[in-house]
Amino acid sequence: MTWDEDLDAIGLLCPLPVLKARKRLMAMAQGAVLLMRADDPAAIVDVPHFCAEAGHTLIEQHSEGTELRFLIRKGDSSA
């Protein structure tokens, strides 16, 4: 799958990965896809919850070693 923007949240702890994703998604067009990379174990819970609350779609979530990768499609909300 391809994505429109890449967000490196490696080394950031909760709630910073979600806050940075929210800020980046606000600047993106509806339907655009963000790849977010993080290594905070809390992101496994935080990112899906954020997507559900903000109206975005979590397309994919997987890990590569200690790195977590999330593909998020921006929903029609402004969050």
Catalytic residues: 14
Altogether, the residues listed in the chain come to a count of: 79
Phi, psi of 37 (to 5 degrees): -110, 130
CA 79 vs CA 10, 43, 66, 67: distances in Å: 22, 18, 28, 25
